[in-house]
Amino acid sequence: MWSRRQGRLRPTVCGVEELRRRRREQEAALRKARREQQLVSKRLLREDAPEEAGEGCVAAILGEAEMQQFLRQAQRGTEEKEREGALLSLRRGLQHPETQQTFIQLEGSMRTLVGLLTSNQALLQLEAARCLHELSHSEQSTIAEACLPATSYLLTYLSGHSSDFIELCLYTLGNLIVESEAVRRQLLPQGIVPALAACIQSPHVAVLEALGYALSQLLQAKEAPEKIIPPASASSSILASTLPQHMLQMLQPGPKLNPGVAVEFAWCLHYIICSQVSNPLLIGHGALSTLGLLLLDLAGAVQRTEDAGLELLACPVLRCLSNLLTEAAVETVGGQMQLRDERVVAALFILLQFFFQKQPSLLPEGLWLLNNLTANSPSFCTSLLSLDLIEPLLQLLPVSNVVSVMVLTVLCNVAEKGPAYCQRLWPGSLLPALLHTLAFSDTEVVGQSLELLHLLFLYQPEV
């Protein structure tokens, strides 16, 4: 999907300003949805716009009689092209929620569709799968549940060889997983985790991306921390399977790293880590070093001004690292497992600069990682000082209150390490910057600056 995304040329009818405005509105709506915990992401594979635009009108809603006719034609037609055409018309109709409702209420419709899905005509099979995919995009759980009879076949087809078909099945499964707990309750005993673990060995990039998507949806399920992730639940467990190792492999930087695939698996990793089920296990698999190296790679790519949607990878990697660092196991495991590399700090700053210019909303994420790095580790604080990174840090203060608080927290982390650190912090524009922040109206900012001042005076009373 990634590569095809870059090659796409969408003829735009409306102006750029209009698009920007629409996007801003969309983002605002999404932020609201996120606050209300209703952000549900689905992915729809659909024919590109030009085909629809060419026809001038969107496919009409299908009535019951029409639908029955299409189904009958698809099932019993004599000419293969005729059967395919009937399914195609059905699929177009299924783009509408009303048609979807009509479909699931029509007796025998799903049975027929499943029959076509498992027929011996390859192209009918593909078309039937596409119809299912349309249905999977519905936001109503009743429709997702109506697709239950097909799930065992979708899973069976994951071990086939036709990559386009597998991709379609994976996206369909991912969509269904999001929508209904009943679907997940069926998919888990049907063996979705082993099926995915087998499928992840596919060499096809598109398949891997689709798999990452489906997996990420599975991991976001609210029952995931109890039922899906823990190793105790035997065959349906993510952590007990080979999935984590494969995921980390996909995140290894190098010539074989595919950004689209990496993004999906980075998010998957993030959800697993958030569930806090067994993070030491992940650390044991080398997650910290892989992610650290990936961070370095990202910083490098940013410097080369390769803007291939990199921020999409940066966010989950930063979150994963930040969360993993809070694990107590980090100190106990030690050795090469621990993230000791000073270059991480430098890389992080390069990314922070990049965010500052392009994506200020990601600054808190980066600073959060810096906070976690410096909180318990004197060596990272030393790196910060020796690489002369205090100035750039101070430059971030005016961005926003949230950012200010984080910058000040990081500085506090450094300061509390002792007098030597305070001594090195003090010269330069720290004082003027601090005095400035004290004038902020945000109580948190002021509170944090006072804390910093307190620490500085504590260790450096002569100042």
Partner 1 sequence: DGDVQRHLYLQEVLMQVADAPEKPRVPAFACQVAGCCQVFDALDDYEHHYHTLHGNVCSFCKRAFPSGHLLDAHILEWHDSLFQILSERQDMYQCLVEGCTEKFKTSRDRKEHMVRMHLYPADFRFDKPKKSRSPASTEVPGDSGERSEGEAMEICSEPVVASPAPAGERRTYSHRSVSKLFLKHVLNVCSVLRILGCTWAAALLIVNSER
Q: Which residues make up the interface to partner 1 (CB under 8 A)?
A: 1, 4-5, 8, 26-27, 30-31, 34, 39, 41-49, 51, 75-76, 108, 111-112, 115-116, 118-123, 125-126, 130, 149, 152-153, 156-157, 159-162, 164-165, 168, 186, 189-191, 193-195, 197-198, 213, 235, 263, 267, 309, 311-312, 315-316, 319, 361-362, 365
**From the centroid of its chain, how far is CA 54?**
33
C-alpha distance from residue 17 to each of 26, 262, 329 (Å):
14, 32, 50
Q: How far is the CB of 86 from partner 1 (least distance, A)?
A: 12
Among 198, 123, 216, which residue's Cα sits nearest to residue 160? Answer: 198
Identify which of residues 50 and 447 has a Cβ nearer to partner 1 in the complex.
50
Looking at the chain, the number of H-run helices and the number of E-run strands are 28, 0
CA–CA dist 270, 111 (Å, integer): 38
Q: How far is the CB of 187 from partner 1 (least distance, A)?
A: 9
Q: How far is the CB of 71 from partner 1 (least distance, A)?
A: 10
Among 275, 267, 214, which residue's Cα sits nearest to residue 239? Answer: 275
Identify which of residues 114 and 325 has a Cβ nearer to partner 1 in the complex.
114
Q: Which amino acid is at 117?
A: L
Q: How far is the CB of 157 from partner 1 (least distance, A)?
A: 5
Query: Structure tokens of 188?
Result: 């888990």
Secondary structure (DSSP) of 150-217: GHHHHHHHTTSS-HHHHHHHHHHHHHHHHH-HHHHHHHTTTTHHHHHHHHTT---HHHHHHHHHHHHH
Question: What is the chain's percent helix, strand, coil content, to nearest 5?
Answer: 70, 0, 30
**From the centroid of its chain, how far is CA 382?**
33
Identify which of residues 204 and 436 has a Cβ nearer to partner 1 in the complex.
204
Among 134, 129, 171, which residue's Cα sits nearest to residue 150? Answer: 129
For residues 437 and 451, the answer to whether their CB atoms sit within 8 Å is no
A 10 A CB-CB count for 402 gives: 15
Q: How far is the CB of 462 from partner 1 (least distance, A)?
A: 43
Identify which of residues 159 and 386 has a Cβ nearer to partner 1 in the complex.
159
Burial class from Cβ neighbours inside 10 Å (0-12, 13-18, 19+) for residue 390 reads buried
Q: How far is the CB of 372 from partner 1 (least distance, A)?
A: 16
Instruction: Name residues whose C-beta falls within 8 Å of residue 43's C-beta, 6 or more positions apart in sequence.
Output: 171, 174, 175, 213
CA–CA dist 125, 87 (Å, integer): 10
For residues 295 and 348, the answer to whether their CB atoms sit within 8 Å is yes
Q: How far is the CB of 311 from partner 1 (least distance, A)?
A: 7
Identify which of residues 47 and 306 has a Cβ nearer to partner 1 in the complex.
47
Identify which of residues 168 and 425 has a Cβ nearer to partner 1 in the complex.
168
Q: How far is the CB of 172 from partner 1 (least distance, A)?
A: 12
For residues 313 and 263, the answer to whether their CB atoms sit within 8 Å is yes
Q: How far is the CB of 135 from partner 1 (least distance, A)?
A: 15
CA–CA dist 355, 372 (Å, integer): 19
CA–CA dist 382, 161 (Å, integer): 53
Q: How far is the CB of 339 from partner 1 (least distance, A)?
A: 21
Q: How far is the CB of 226 from partner 1 (least distance, A)?
A: 19
Return the residue matching tokens 């982390």: 413
Identify which of residues 53 and 435 has a Cβ nearer to partner 1 in the complex.
53
